[in-house]
Structure formats: structure tokens, C-alpha cells
């Protein structure tokens, strides 16, 4: 999934992007789910949409996320060119968080969030 692109995301940017609890929750969710839209993240994490959009913009600017538009929906995912060390660190952190609150509840709630018609959440461990 990830390639070694050393200048895309520096260690400082990586650490700063995870320094906020909301951004960490977003990143942990996206280690488990292929992509999520703003409304799904807002509903799951329980923050207002403008605040969620600001957090997503920070993560995109730092090189941790990318987005794609599908009609009126904008979906966010981990950046595919994220350096391997960053992706591996994030996966290791997520594996330690997923059985703890609020991460456990976030992952359980994500399946019940709003989705465009015909769209299905794809977990990353699915074939």
C-alpha cells in the first residue's frame, strides 16, 4: 500500500498530526476502513462538521490523508504514498488502541453512519 516517499511526511509533521485526539481518532479509524466521508466521521466521533473539516484539512496538508469526490460526497483515506515507516507506526498504534475507548466505540459506530445509496463501508481486512 505505501511507498517510501521520505519528503511527503516528516516525523515532526506525523507526530503533530496525531497530537490532537480528534485527528488520532480519524487516523485510527482509517487504518481499519478504506475510506470515510466527513459526515461519517462527524457522526461517529461526535464533533461539528466545520471542526471535522478543519481536522481533515490539517491531515491532508501534512500528507497523511487524501480525498476524492463522488457527487456531493467527499471521501477521505490514508494517503497511498505515505512513507512506509509512517504507515507501519500508525498501524502499530491503532492495534494498541482498538480495544480501548473511544476507539472501540468509534469502530463499532461507523457501520451505522450515513452513506450514499449503494455505497458500502469496506474494511481494510476484507478481500
Q: How far apart are CA 57 and CA 28, in angstroms?
A: 17
- The pTM for the full model equals 0.86
Alpha helices in the chain (DSSP H): 11-18, 21-30, 38-45, 49-62, 84-97, 103-109
Q: How far apart are CA 99 and CA 114, in angstroms?
A: 24
| Predicted pLDDT at 120 | 67
Please give the chain's pLDDT, 127 residues, in tens. 444 343 467 888 888 888 899 999 999 999 999 999 999 999 999 999 999 999 999 999 988 999 999 888 899 999 999 999 999 999 999 999 999 999 999 999 987 877 666 666 767 765 4
All structural domains of the chain with their residue ranges: 11-109
| Predicted pLDDT at 28 | 95
Containing 65, the helix (H) or strand (E) segment is strand 65-70
| Predicted pLDDT at 91 | 93
Give, in words, the CATH class of 11-109: mainly alpha
Strand 65-70 to 36-37 pairing? unpaired
User: Angle formed by the axes of helices 38-45 and 21-30, to 10°?
Assistant: 120
Amino acid at each position: 500500500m505505501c511507498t517510501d516517499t521520505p519528503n511527503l511526511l516528516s516525523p515532526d509533521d506525523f507526530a503533530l498530526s496525531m497530537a490532537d485526539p480528534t485527528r488520532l481518532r480519524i487516523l485510527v479509524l482509517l487504518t481499519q476502513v478504506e475510506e470515510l466521508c466527513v459526515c461519517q466521521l462527524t457522526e461517529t466521533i461526535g464533533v461539528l462538521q466545520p471542526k471535522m473539516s478543519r481536522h481533515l484539512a490539517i491531515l491532508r496538508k501534512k500528507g497523511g490523508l487524501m480525498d476524492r469526490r463522488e457527487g456531493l460526497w467527499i471521501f477521505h483515506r490514508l494517503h497511498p504514498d505515505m512513507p512506509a515507516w509512517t504507515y507501519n507506526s500508525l498501524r502499530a498504534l491503532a492495534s494498541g488502541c482498538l480495544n480501548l475507548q473511544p476507539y472501540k466505540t468509534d469502530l463499532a459506530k461507523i457501520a451505522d453512519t450515513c452513506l450514499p445509496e449503494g455505497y458500502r463501508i469496506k474494511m481494510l481486512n476484507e478481500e
